Structure 1
């Protein structure tokens, strides 16, 4: 994407927890924040961060990685200097539909470590991303507690107290606004679909943004607005529409089938009119053809031989064919002319065909399943997550896909990171880290 090609001009500092394969770390850095510390536990993800640079033009500055359990990190000792932004996506499995649904009882619930990090570093802003499962009725009371803890992170929970007891204390303090603004945060949670921000993927998430109350930031003025819509995509796919101008090589029978399946649009509806002013949702075909920084750089065609023999196709990293894709009820492939399904990181694979794609060639053999579809390559999946092609992922295919499934799409993270930067600038709260030395 263009913002990743721009010269990185420092606007402040950041710390990133639960960095995974680097999606949110790249996004915050693209917004101009200089990383003071990056923490990750998984060994393969740590190696991914080691082999990639924040800025490829400056090989002298790797990610300041502290590998290991976040519970062992003393932030007061590990971080030198003022922290402008703390970012991270605590492990989502406790709250995910694909996880065990244990929520607050799950030992992988790392929200308490986010709150400890806030206490020890007192950042000006916090960006937190997690799954929409947090909004499920069974977790909603605890989610409200999470937001209250982020509002008052310095009011620590007693070891003997239940979260419900602690929440009562927090709500009383919030009601009378008796806590010093420098130890209180203004918190806003937002349910987002990454496709609405130019990511070629349906990915519904919750993003929490918090600002220290003493800064008096008006977040509503800077909150990212949706830039893309499904209605615009549908309109662009009508016969003779610009979508087909971009994809001239699509076989006529495929184009006709896609057009025949398009839903109707009520062009007189005011909501539809507003959404038609936005850019079209990006599709899987768009991602493979090349968008943003990969504009005009289509991924090489994956042949049957490449799938059968697990061959690297062209000179793009991790663009390797993979045999054995299957399709059955409840396990259906991605469609090229829609945003991809949510990229997932299942322990035992993914359940809904999220790593399989239907092809234009109905006779294509994938050697292990039926015809007309195949597994997506790691690089195709990385493009769906808006990772730059230069970004290498460590480990075998399964580990690479796990890192991508756990990541924040770079484009989505960048939209919110840049908005946070602008909000902090508006109150004079940011200064180039180089000038602080």
Structure 2
């Protein structure tokens, strides 16, 4: 039996696609942006199996009637807007009207799911936000301890701290854990550092831990510069390979000498890995490939160099042209650059090839830049699903024994 889920701040659907692959059936998908909603609607109309059951609600999550969701929900997921905490933004946190963590807590209070899964940028854990991050944790831990009229977040935070220390809670309570990860460590061909906040309702067994990394940089260095397996797998002749990066020489030597062990992890996946089997994008698109048009105008300059072909991509950003660092741009071995096509960027974000992004290049890149990598969402979602299923089986065994 599928586990039931509701998605908040759904964007283009990366998190929801991942949790769907992990065994959750998404019943309600809430997103305020019309273009992102159109992406989901367009794929649903085209018959994409993952989104068929999604009830798409376009609008402010605070104005959605969640009474339509039957009791017994397993999971609430979402990526509240990252701009209040992003290192590329003004970082105003609670003073930014786009801060939606309190809204997420209200939905959890209303739906009382067995678990929740929230994702955001690593800037959320900056020292400057330490108090507010702890407020978020406590707010999600005790969703029924809502703010009083005209109460500031700081006064609310102090009240939550007092209640937490008192240790007597008859209200809805969650056991909350947070983790900062790099998506590359989980097989995503991209450096994408994200914070996950996971909570299980207090009646669910708390023996849960975030999944261990499966991939590593050292394993990639070994495959490229010790065994050479990486180049052989891609049939790259010696003359077309990049020079060994001097900044890695010492580490490669230690790997070769056995001073550093890969410990069974797989190599980080690179841009070359992600784009394997794809034709070059063309101005008019490529037959048989969705969203695979060439986007002209890419150029490199200091501080805007693109993502090297044989490393994980830089984190895609929610912008089109002029993104600092050239994150939405590919840099070939010879130093030439071009923009990722929408389909290539979707590959970098591990979206399925048959999932089409709605809108022009800049709009689609914004959606992808805001998205959770599907593979990372599946990995975390599968761990949550496994824990919830195990808890349910234990509860059923106790009932049968009684």
Common fold by TM > 0.5: yes
Aligned ranges 1:13-162 → 2 under 5 Å: 13-53=4-44, 56=47, 61-75=52-66, 77-162=67-152
Deviation string 1:17-74 (CA, Å, 9 cap, x unpaired) is 0000010010111111111211011001000111124995759934211111111112
Deviation string 1:273-306 (CA, Å, 9 cap, x unpaired) is 2x442000000000000xxxxxxxx11124xxx3
- Equivalent position SS for 1:95: coil
What's the RMSD between the two structures over aligned residues? 2.3
- Equivalent position SS for 1:237: helix
Contact 1:14/1:36 (8 A) holds in 2 = yes
Task: Give the 3 Å change call, closer, same or farther, for CA 176–216 of structure 1 in structure 2.
Answer: farther
User: Aligned partners of 2:135 and 2:103: how far apart in 1?
Assistant: 15
Task: Give the 3 Å change call, closer, same or farther, for CA 82–324 of structure 1 in structure 2.
Answer: same
Verify: 1:419 aligned to 2:383, yes or no.
yes
- Equivalent position SS for 2:76: strand
Aligned match of 2:314: 341
Q: How many residues align?
A: 393
User: Aligned partners of 1:387 and 1:332: how far apart in 2?
Assistant: 25
Verify: 1:253 aligned to 2:239, yes or no.
yes
Contact 1:424/1:430 (8 A) holds in 2 = no
Give unmatched runs, 5+ long, in structure 1: 1-9, 290-297, 363-371, 432-437
Residue 186 of structure 1, aligned match among 170, 175, 194: 175
User: Aligned partners of 1:389 and 1:189: how far apart in 2?
Assistant: 31
User: Aligned partners of 1:323 and 1:144: how far apart in 2?
Assistant: 45
Moved >6 Å (runs of 4+): 268-271
Task: Give the 3 Å change call, closer, same or farther, for CA 240–169 of structure 1 in structure 2.
Answer: closer
Residue 428 of structure 1, aligned match among 381, 392, 402: 392
Normalised to the residue count of structure 2, the TM-score between the two structures is 0.92
Task: Give the 3 Å change call, closer, same or farther, for CA 348–11 of structure 1 in structure 2.
Answer: same
- Equivalent position SS for 2:139: helix
Task: Give the 3 Å change call, closer, same or farther, for CA 57–391 of structure 1 in structure 2.
Answer: closer
Task: Give the 3 Å change call, closer, same or farther, for CA 256–170 of structure 1 in structure 2.
Answer: closer
Give unmatched runs, 5+ long, in structure 2: 396-402
- Equivalent position SS for 1:345: coil
Contact 2:32/2:59 (8 A) holds in 1 = yes
* TM superposition shift of 1:112: 1.0
Contact 1:29/1:54 (8 A) holds in 2 = no
Task: Give the 3 Å change call, closer, same or farther, for CA 128–429 of structure 1 in structure 2.
Answer: farther
User: Aligned partners of 1:97 and 1:353: how far apart in 2?
Assistant: 16
* TM superposition shift of 1:213: 0.8
Contact 2:306/2:328 (8 A) holds in 1 = yes
Task: Give the 3 Å change call, closer, same or farther, for CA 46–311 of structure 1 in structure 2.
Answer: same
* TM superposition shift of 1:139: 1.1
